[in-house]
Amino acid sequence: MDYDMLYDKKEQLAKIRSSIQPEALESFEKSFDVEYAHNSTAIEGNTLTLIQTKAILEDGLSVGGKTLREIYEVANHAKAFAFVKKCVAEGRTLDEPTAKDIHALLMENILVGDVYRNVEVRISGAGFKPPAPNEMFRQIKNFFADLPYRTDLNPIELAAWTHAEFVKIHPFVDGNGRTSRMLMNYQLMSKGFLPVSIAKEKRLEYFDALEAYAVGGDLKLFADMVAGLEDTRLDEYLAIISEQVTEDGSPTHTM
């Protein structure tokens, strides 16, 4: 992936973002929030459809035939992502207390959040074994200690590494995937990029990329995946402007 091209698109969007009609921007961002909540929970086995997720998050409707846990998962995801966006807007650096707060929001009414596991865990189908509790505790402390100093990585690689390393450590009994995807987007947004959503249909490609890092330390596959998702999202935003430009060059709302 040509990272310079991504940086150029990011800068282009930063210059023209204020030209996007607020209604169009709000609609676009709401749509992403629903899609992100749906995909991130579906990857973990949630069976709510995209339309059902929208009904819960945007319309405040209940959905019959689904477990309370599934409903809480998407509702909690929206709360956690709103918290992430607030933290980024305030310029807060990602740290351990913030990550634990994100996990607590994701696990609300499901299990006690922000508490590291004291049991060994296995990941079905994975070619690696998460560390035992004592080693996990050491690794997670080192992870957060190293996080501000990973200057060897560009912003996309840093976001990918944050996710891949966190989920490899697997510090919680449950919710590690959802939390790691939140942390990835926290990093992207902190650097001026757009948050991304990994489609549930791409989960096998996604798991393979994470496995390449967990087993062999190869981040490239996952970093390229994140870069591709970011490129697509930047193009979507830039397309809003091109669709709104009138003959005299001024933006107009056409959505």
Q: In the chain, pLDDT over 90 holds for what percent of residues?
A: 80
pLDDT (tens digit, 9 = 90+) per residue, 98-136?
999 999 999 999 999 999 999 998 877 777 889 999 999
Count of domains observed in the chain = 1
pLDDT (tens digit, 9 = 90+) per residue, 162-217?
999 999 999 999 999 999 999 999 999 999 999 999 999 999 999 999 999 999 99
Residue 250 counted as domain residue = no
pLDDT at 1 over 90: no
Q: Which of 202, 180, 240, 242 is nearest to 31 (CA)?
A: 240
pLDDT at 248 over 60: no
Q: Which of 22, 76, 27 is nearest to 48 (CA)?
A: 76
Residue 100 counted as domain residue = yes
Residue 65 counted as domain residue = yes
pLDDT at 254 over 80: no
Residue 104 counted as domain residue = yes
pLDDT of residue 25: 87
Here the CATH number for the domain that contains residue 37 is 1.10.3290.10
Residues 6+ away with beta carbon under 8 Å from 82 = none
pLDDT of residue 124: 72
pLDDT of residue 246: 45
Residues spanned by the domain of 132:
3-114+126-242
**Mean model confidence pLDDT for the chain:** 92
CB atoms within 10 A of CB 83: 18
* pTM over the 0.85 mark: yes
Q: Is 252 exposed, middle or buried (0-12, 13-18, 19+ CB in 10 A)?
A: exposed
Average pLDDT over residues 32-45: 97
pLDDT of residue 147: 96
Residue 255 counted as domain residue = no
| 125: alpha, beta or left? (left if phi > 0; alpha if psi -120 to 50) | left
pLDDT of residue 252: 44
pLDDT of residue 126: 72
- φ, ψ of residue 127 to 5 degrees: the values are -90, 15
pLDDT at 44 over 60: yes
pLDDT at 144 over 80: yes
Confidence tier at 58 by pLDDT (50, 70, 90): very high
pLDDT at 16 over 50: yes
Residue 119 counted as domain residue = no
In whole angstroms, how far apart are CA 15 and each of 8, 11, 90? 11, 6, 20
pLDDT at 13 over 60: yes
pLDDT (tens digit, 9 = 90+) per residue, 221-230?
999 999 999 9
pLDDT of residue 234: 96
Residue 209 counted as domain residue = yes
Radius of gyration of the chain from its Cα atoms, rounded to whole angstroms: 19
Catalytic residues: 170
Residue 179 counted as domain residue = yes
